[in-house]
């Protein structure tokens, strides 16, 4: 006999699917608006499972850090954040004995507050995820440990079926269910995507000497090799390689891998020790044809995938969160339907340009730098050298990377949404 879903007793304003960093932040933002009056559910099977450390870290732009502060998450991250004081960019071949510096970005002193004037801050994923999860529970998000298996949009609500048979009803369904987004697929929204034939190998190393907050990105023919400062004498490594070679690196012993990393990183910070086994993530660029459907919004990797060359993927997703949370909060404040076509179309319009721009920019950077074609190498080194001697252009680039300006949604400016608890 077919299993008939049992309706959840209460209807929700928003059902969010996926408790990754985008989904959790969305849940906290909505629940904090309007003095906690919105009914918000967050669904993900991982919510009922034991916490699995990832060992990963993200470079978060200043605007996103301000948003985490406005949501009262930042104080919980003490000891897990490291401001980037300087970014150094080099371009060389793997076997070259020195990696000449072509471009540097120093910390501007024009912004301040939680980011200590830095345009980006390294934040450890596990601490961030746990802080968001604690906050979501504390502010009263309904956390449901389940998988979503179906959803049906109707004129006035959306019905969401969970794998335990529960039926949730909401005004808006927010899909934060990641790159493979089952909700996006079920809604028939195509994603235009292309594999890079590159994978990002991620690990953490300890070095003998301090990094002084300096992040480095070495453009090598197989892809960028980034060292990103963490607290203490530690750095997160994001090492892009051709996918065909990744298996060989992952099967190496820690000692062999350290040698490979030292060949790219150098010994300027002394000997390296690997602190966790590396993991590899195949890299893709992808853009959903629409970010919305009837009573449905796609957020984060469910809507877009970009190359990590500029460390912007999660930043984009959290900018989606800031835009959509404000539109929903404003609609509720005016007594309007928060899942209406108007709210959804405003969301798509607000996010489309930024996303396409960032996807195009990261794609172009990767094409320009991940190769060993001599004329291109000369051209890009000339270009980097020129930018390095143009302080005005550099400060503009820093401002853009910080994602702090007056046109940004309130949360990214560090302002709470209306009626925050
Ligand atoms: C090598 C590498 C380095 C990166 N570095 C950076 C960086 O420095 N800075 C940066 O900003 N970004 C970076 N990124 C990008 C960043 O990792 C992603 O953009 C971000 O993690 C996506 O978060 P998300 O919440 O959208 O999705 P996810 O983290 O994928 O979360 C999706 C969630 O949905 C849940 N889910 C899926 N299906 C269902 C279902 N049917 N029912 C219920 N739940 C479901 C899953 O369990 C999961 O918890 C990097 C990416 C890579 C690959």
Could you read off the pLDDT of 114-173 as tens digits, one per residue?
Answer: 666 677 899 999 999 999 999 999 999 999 999 999 999 999 999 999 999 999 999 999
> Integer distance in angstroms from the first to the last C-alpha of the chain?
46
Mean pLDDT rounded to a whole number for the chain: 88
Segments making up each domain of the chain, as ranges = 6-194+283-413
d(CA 149, CA 135): 27
> How many whole angstroms from 299 Cα to the centroid of ligand 1?
10
350 to each of 229, 296, 343, 412, how far by Cα in Å? 32, 16, 11, 14
The pLDDT score that the predictor gives to residue 310 is 83
**Greatest CA separation found in the chain?**
73
The pLDDT score that the predictor gives to residue 218 is 85
Ligand 1 contacts (CB < 6 A) are 17-23, 43-44, 46, 58-59, 147-148, 176-178, 182, 200, 202, 238, 281, 300-301, 308, 311-315, 317
> How many whole angstroms from 178 Cα to the centroid of ligand 1?
5
The DSSP H or E segment spanning 221 is: none
Residue with tokens 């051209």: 379
Closest Cα to atom 5 of ligand 1: 311
pLDDT in tens, 50-81: 999 998 999 999 999 999 999 999 999 999 99
> How many whole angstroms from 320 Cα to the centroid of ligand 1?
13
d(CA 202, CA 210): 20
pLDDT bracket for residue 10 (50, 70, 90)? low
pLDDT in tens, 381-393: 766 666 666 666 6
Q: How far is CA 319 from the centre of its chain?
A: 9
pLDDT bracket for residue 406 (50, 70, 90)? low
Atom of ligand 1 nearest to the CA of 200: 1
- To test the pocket of ligand 1, the residue of 308, 317, 318 to mutate (highest count of ligand atoms within 8 Å of its CB) is 308
Rounded to 5 degrees, φ, ψ at 212 are 55, 30
d(CA 173, CA 249): 41
- To test the pocket of ligand 1, the residue of 178, 204, 282 to mutate (highest count of ligand atoms within 8 Å of its CB) is 178
Q: What share of the chain is helix, strand, coil (3-state, %, to 5)?
A: 40, 30, 30
Closest Cα to atom 50 of ligand 1: 308
Mean pLDDT score, 16-34: 97
Q: Are 419 and 35 in contact (CB under 8 A)?
A: yes
The pLDDT score that the predictor gives to residue 7 is 55
> How many whole angstroms from 194 Cα to the centroid of ligand 1?
18
> How many whole angstroms from 313 Cα to the centroid of ligand 1?
9
Paired residues of 209 in beta bridges: none
> How many whole angstroms from 231 Cα to the centroid of ligand 1?
23
Is residue 113 over pLDDT 80? no
> How many whole angstroms from 421 Cα to the centroid of ligand 1?
28
- To test the pocket of ligand 1, the residue of 84, 177, 191, 320 to mutate (highest count of ligand atoms within 8 Å of its CB) is 177
Please state which of the four CATH numbers 3.90.1310.10, 3.40.50.1980, 2.60.40.3140, 3.50.50.60 is assigned to the domain occupying 6-194+283-413: 3.50.50.60
Atom of ligand 1 nearest to the CA of 18: 34
Is residue 341 over pLDDT 70? yes
Residue 330: Cβ within 10 Å count:
17
The pLDDT score that the predictor gives to residue 236 is 97
Mean pLDDT score, 37-41: 96
> How many whole angstroms from 98 Cα to the centroid of ligand 1?
35
The pLDDT score that the predictor gives to residue 421 is 45
The pLDDT score that the predictor gives to residue 300 is 98
Q: Are 52 and 163 in contact (CB under 8 A)?
A: no
Is residue 111 over pLDDT 80? no
Mean pLDDT score, 257-267: 88
Mean pLDDT score, 405-420: 83
The pLDDT score that the predictor gives to residue 146 is 97
The pLDDT score that the predictor gives to residue 405 is 67
> How many whole angstroms from 179 Cα to the centroid of ligand 1?
7
The pLDDT score that the predictor gives to residue 267 is 84
pLDDT in tens, 363-385: 887 787 776 677 666 666 766 66
């Amino acid at each position: 006999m077919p299993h008939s879903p049992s309706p959840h007793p209460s209807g929700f304003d928003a059902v969010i699917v996926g408790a990754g960093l985008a989904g959790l932040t969305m849940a906290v933002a909505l629940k904090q608006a309007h003095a906690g009056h919105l009914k918000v559910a967050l669904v993900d099977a991982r919510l009922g499972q034991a916490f699995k450390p990832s060992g990963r870290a993200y470079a978060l732009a200043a605007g996103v850090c301000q948003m985490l502060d406005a949501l009262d998450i930042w104080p919980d991250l003490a000891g897990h954040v490291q401001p980037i004081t300087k970014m150094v960019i080099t371009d060389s071949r793997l076997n070259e004995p020195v990696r000449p510096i072509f471009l540097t970005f120093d910390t501007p002193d024009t912004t301040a507050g939680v980011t200590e004037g830095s345009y980006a801050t390294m934040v450890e994923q596990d601490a961030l995820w746990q802080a968001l999860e604690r906050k979501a529970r504390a502010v009263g998000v309904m956390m449901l440990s389940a998988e979503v298996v179906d959803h049906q949009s109707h004129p006035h609500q959306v019905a969401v079926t969970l794998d335990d048979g529960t039926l949730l009803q909401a005004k808006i369904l927010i899909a934060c269910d990641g790159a493979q987004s089952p909700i996006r697929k079920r809604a028939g929204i195509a994603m235009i995507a292309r594999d890079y034939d590159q994978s990002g190998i991620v690990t953490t190393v300890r070095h003998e000497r301090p990094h002084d907050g300096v992040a480095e990105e070495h453009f090598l023919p197989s892809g960028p090799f980034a060292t990103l400062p963490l607290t203490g004498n530690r750095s997160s490594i994001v090492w892009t390689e051709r996918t065909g070679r990744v298996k060989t690196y992952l099967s190496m012993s820690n000692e062999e891998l350290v040698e490979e990393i030292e060949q790219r990183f150098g010994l300027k910070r002394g000997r390296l020790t690997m602190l966790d086994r590396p993991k590899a993530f195949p890299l893709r660029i992808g853009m959903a044809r629409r970010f919305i459907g009837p009573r449905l919004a796609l957020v984060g990797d469910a809507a877009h995938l970009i190359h990590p060359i500029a460390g912007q993927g999660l930043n984009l997703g959290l900018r989606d969160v800031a835009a959509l949370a404000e539109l929903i909060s404003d609609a509720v404040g005016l007594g309007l339907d928060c899942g209406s076509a108007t709210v959804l179309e405003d969301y798509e319009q607000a996010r489309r340009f930024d996303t396409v721009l960032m996807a195009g920019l990261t794609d172009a950077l990767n094409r320009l730098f991940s190769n060993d074609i001599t004329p291109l190498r000369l051209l890009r080194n000339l270009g980097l050298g020129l930018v390095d001697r143009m302080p005005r252009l550099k400060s503009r680039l820093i401002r853009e990377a910080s994602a702090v300006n007056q046109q940004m949604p309130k949360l990214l400016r560090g302002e709470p949404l209306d009626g925050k608890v």
